[in-house]
Chains A and B, each alone.
Chain A
Amino acid sequence: MGIKIKSMKQSDFKDNETLELFKETGGNILLTTVDDVINWGRSNSLWPLTFATSCCGIEMMAAGAARHDFARFGFEVYRASPRQADLIVVAGTIVRKMAPVLKRLYDQIADPKYVIAMGACAVSGGPFFYNTYSVIRGVEHVIPVDVYIPGCPPRPEALLYGVMQLQRKVKSESIMNMRDYDREHLEGTIPPKYKLNDSQSE
């Protein structure tokens, strides 16, 4: 039994097995049914935060505008407040000065929350990997990432593919083993060389 995404055929997803394995079967009929209902709701109303730090943000806006219109898939509307958002699309370069702000925005989002790293900059530092004193090489040093979308910048179609992969990931969740966001927060993913000084990392 695969994870169904309404707007996309199962065969159109590359690398199906990883996410299928993600979904732990078992449990009783009642719980899996509850899961299905909850995941249906969550995955079809993922609202992204209005957050774009550079050029990739333009593609993200294009994905939200009429031609590509990712509202079709439930990414309804950009929210200007993290309190109302479910998802951060990190669209752009994150520099050392921006990192604490991003971390704070992520912390302000209510659970469950998801992160898409869009573009080479957010994935690994991209074009700014070498010879820079300021760029964070990959947003996973600051917050945990669910889906990586490569490209510089990725086309809006690539973002659509990425958000549908995220929908599949959301659909593989179960209330039996919820993600422990507090734990993730405490363990932190910031390696020592990026330790932000005390005043910034509240």
Chain B
Amino acid sequence: MSNEELKQFILTIVPKAEFTESKELLTVSIPKENLKKLVKALKDSAETTFDYLFNLTGVDYADHMTVVYHLESTRYHHCVVIKAQIPGRDDVSIETISDIYKTADFHEREVYDFFGITFKNHPDMRRIFLDEIAPDIGHPLRKDYVDEINIIER
């Protein structure tokens, strides 16, 4: 599918979606409530078949948080970037997609570890890396993170 067709397809599922077309990847920004519905439709419908989640990461924009999903279809070789917007920054949460893509399981734990975004209905919502350094380390990639002992500010 071309980017234009993908756009139309996504708009039928999430009318509120906003698009930005960067260099190569089609980027769509959606409210977090619509995420699961959209991802499921993109994966299941025959003409899109996004069967490969190749990246999942978080971003802290200071006034809101975002979780970014990169999807690819190994059959049609088209890609899409989904940015799920989460308003606010305290006690932020979003629905898990680890039941759709198994690989999202560890990625979501990583995002939780570094950003403190919890994923609802995740089978095993624990830290994945940082608990070995210190269990009370906090979420170090958040913009408001402070660590007076280990960080030298400049």
Contacts and interface: CB of A to CB of B under 8 A. Distances in A.
A131 B147 CA distance: 10
B152 interface: yes
A96 B147 CA distance: 14
B60 to A, nearest CB: 15
Contacts of A133: 137, 140, 145, 147, 150-151
B153 A131 contact: yes
B140 A134 contact: yes
Interface bin, chain B? 10 to 19
Interface string B112-130: 0000000000000000010
B152 A130 contact: yes
Contacts of A129: 152
Q: Report which residue of B132, B133, B151 has the largest number of chain A beta carbons within 10 angstroms of its beta carbon.
A: B133
A83 interface: no
Contacts of A132: 150-151
B134 interface: yes
Q: Report which residue of A131, A133, A193 has the largest number of chain B beta carbons within 10 angstroms of its beta carbon.
A: A133
Interface in A93-133: 96-97, 129-133
Given A96-B133, A97-B129, A130 B140 contact: no
Interface in A11-70: none
Given A97-B132, A97-B133, A133-B140, A193 B149 contact: yes
Contacts, number: 28
Nearest to A100: B132
Contacts of A130: 152-154
Interface residues of A, number: 11
B153 A197 contact: no
Contacts of A193: 149-150
Nearest to A136: B150
Contacts of A131: 151-154
Interface string A140-162: 00000000000000000000000
Interface string B63-104: 000000000000000000000000000000000000000000
Contacts of B145: 133
A193 B151 CA distance: 11
A176 B151 CA distance: 44
Q: Report which residue of B134, B150, B151, B153 has the largest number of chain A beta carbons within 10 angstroms of its beta carbon.
A: B150
B110 to A, nearest CB: 14
Nearest to A192: B149
5 contacts: A96-B150, A97-B132, A133-B140, A133-B150, A134-B150
Q: Report the 8 A-B pairs with minimum CB-CB distance, sorted nearest first.
A: A130-B154, A133-B140, A96-B133, A193-B149, A133-B147, A133-B150, A130-B152, A133-B151
